Structure 1
């Protein structure tokens, strides 16, 4: 698989180098499996780490019915968060950093101890979590026009782009996470609303799912890592000049601004 993984990792890298989306991997290789797609992701992440970047967490994608319908898939996926993906709350994102961004609001978990599958439960997640925060994830795709299947987004690090943490740290036992309400605004206009239960019924269950899935690759969720637990509603397209902010009940606000260059 190494040769194939290298081939498709370089294919995705071309999108960033040329500032233009590339053909879907599933069009080049219709037989590629989900497991092979994860090998492409892991190889790409490993190369970034060797180049000096640091893994700061993980993300879970496609947890909400809205996102699964949007991308026509029927299961979640996951990717890695690196230090060059962090954007400060209220910060600006030059549009040169993204290709075709979409913004979604979610709940972020910050761990105080490791979580290792294969039998992690939602309760285990709560006990291992230091605090939760509101987050904006800027998903992005190196595949042209978001014409992706599950294998495409998996290989492309779960269509990860950037992320913003905001609000105030809240202990997970202080709130009912499935009942946390969310409102996402674009340029002051409500784009969509959601609730914690939109993510597999419980954001903590999403994190448990992730810990158990990563066990197959020998990857733990580590103390100090940020885990983005999944979108609470469909992602919203972003253009230069757009300002996004989300309000999550009991957790506060998080915001970001896209600027032209």
Structure 2
């Protein structure tokens, strides 16, 4: 399968002819079919579509959280890697270093403080010297405006603060791509725009941001939008070069 050359202007992540099938009681259900796309540095890509169109399934494949049924995904990391060929250990390390995942319901570990949650990816991937991790985590929390919450447990914080903490955790290893699945679905409109501004700042810093959303009124933030219908890309808007 042909993938882009690994050049400074090339994509960070490329998917070619992805499909995903699930076995159900009534037979096989094809959730995605023949999905191909490239994700570049500086992209703010929105994935839109009705419920059940395959949006979350697609981001689960792009992040390696779920296995493809067909097709391949290529990452520019380490000189170019077909991540669909990696074993689970290598895949988890790739994801920990190259992808920052932000979940709709935050998924912060409730028994850890905000600071400890932020340090967790650094500890897991051993990406930075142990003596530097706390300082790095505090710097990220400061950047996101929640440094004063560092020693709190997640349930002691508001929804907006928890989402900022989830973003901080996603940024811990300075990944090139941030993937967020409905990150504003549980936030009020004011906090939604604050969170979107945080994502926009990451895009402006040269990262790629991929976001699943139902909220059409956020379109001004996005550089590209793809629409899924019944597991296939049916429309694409924006700069796709």
TM-score, structure 1 normalization: 0.25
Give the TM-score, by structure 2 length. Answer: 0.26
